[in-house]
Amino acid sequence: MRPRTLPAIGAAIDNHRTGEPYWQRVFEGFERSKEWMRNAKPDVCFVVYNDHASAFSVDMIPTFALGTATEFPIADEGWGPRPVPVVKGHPELAAHIAQSVILDEFDLTLCNKMEVDHGLTVPLNLMFGSPKEWPCPIIPLAVNVVMYPPPTGHRCYMLGKAIKKAIESYPEDLNVVVFGTGGMSHQISGQRAGLINSKFDHAFLDNLTKDPQKLVRMEHLEYMREAGAEGVEMVMWLIMRGALDDKVDETYRFYTVPASNTAVGHIILENRVKGAKKAAKPTAKAKKPAAKKAAPKLKRAAARQKIQRVRS
């Protein structure tokens, strides 16, 4: 997520402008995703996102902050809270994840009180629409990709694996969907302001499915050089990818430019069912709303999806 696209997308939703020509192609790209989500019927969503000086500031910058509260109020980002439902948490599963991950030697900041901003609420809108209440509890994980130094891709990927282990060891049989968010190529200031590198973006999406280890090895400077100063946000996708199995199938992909001066990329990945053949790569036609196969409910809270929202 980045400071311009998600706020602009959120404003388009809040001001009922989604049908305007500029925004129509963006929102149409998520119609199939909303259908996927309706079929998936998650019991809990685990959302990886970055805070924008709403819950935290330069006075306090946690690298990884896990929301363990019963609910998370909507932050006032200067023009009042967004007109969206309060985010209800799942403190039992969050506490279990915290214990498991910390005992696996990942140091998390635990937040029993935390406001959430557009970095989390806009992705929820794009996947759930605008309901009176969010259809399931949400566990937020805020990642610092704003102030130097952000975590490495390797650290994010390994944290995702630790989260997978925690979810799968939870005693209750839950269907958990994991969102990874973060802007694709974009830069909001300096001589390269407005940079979009579609070739890099598509290669990132390809490797997310086929060769995540290539992304795990990518250094911060490469993200900045190829994807712009804010491109480092893409490391957050690797938390989601680590929370999946090694072998996944790409169910859906959507990519368009520009949206508020940046690229919008979105992908849905599912754990490959054992014994199943590799799914065919989605075609361009998949961008149009189409009949969506129900995502199989995985035994014991299997994390399996990823949504990327462009910037926040």
Residue with tokens 């949400």: 138
> 186 catalytic, yes or no?
yes
Contact 154, 217 (CB under 8 A): yes
Report the alpha-carbon distance of residue 180 to residue 156 in Å, rounded.
11
Please give the DSSP secondary-structure letter assigned to residue 278.
Answer: P
Tokens of 223: 């993200």
Report the alpha-carbon distance of residue 121 to residue 26 in Å, rounded.
17
> 16 catalytic, yes or no?
no
Contact 10, 261 (CB under 8 A): no
Which of the residues 52, 118, 202, 220 is marked catalytic? 118
Which of the residues 186, 202, 220, 266 is marked catalytic? 186
- Judged by DSSP in three states, 16 sits in coil
Is the peptide bond between 149 and the residue preceding it cis, with omega within 30 degrees of 0? yes
Contact 123, 172 (CB under 8 A): no
Report the alpha-carbon distance of residue 144 to residue 278 in Å, rounded.
35
Nearest to 182 by CA among 207, 209, 205, 161: 205
Report the alpha-carbon distance of residue 180 to residue 188 in Å, rounded.
21
Report the alpha-carbon distance of residue 199 to residue 205 in Å, rounded.
10
Dihedral Cα 6, 266, 256, 123, nearest 10 deg: -20
Report the alpha-carbon distance of residue 298 to residue 303 in Å, rounded.
8
Report the alpha-carbon distance of residue 59 to residue 267 in Å, rounded.
34
Widest distance between CA atoms in the chain:
52
Show which residues are catalytic.
Answer: 118, 186
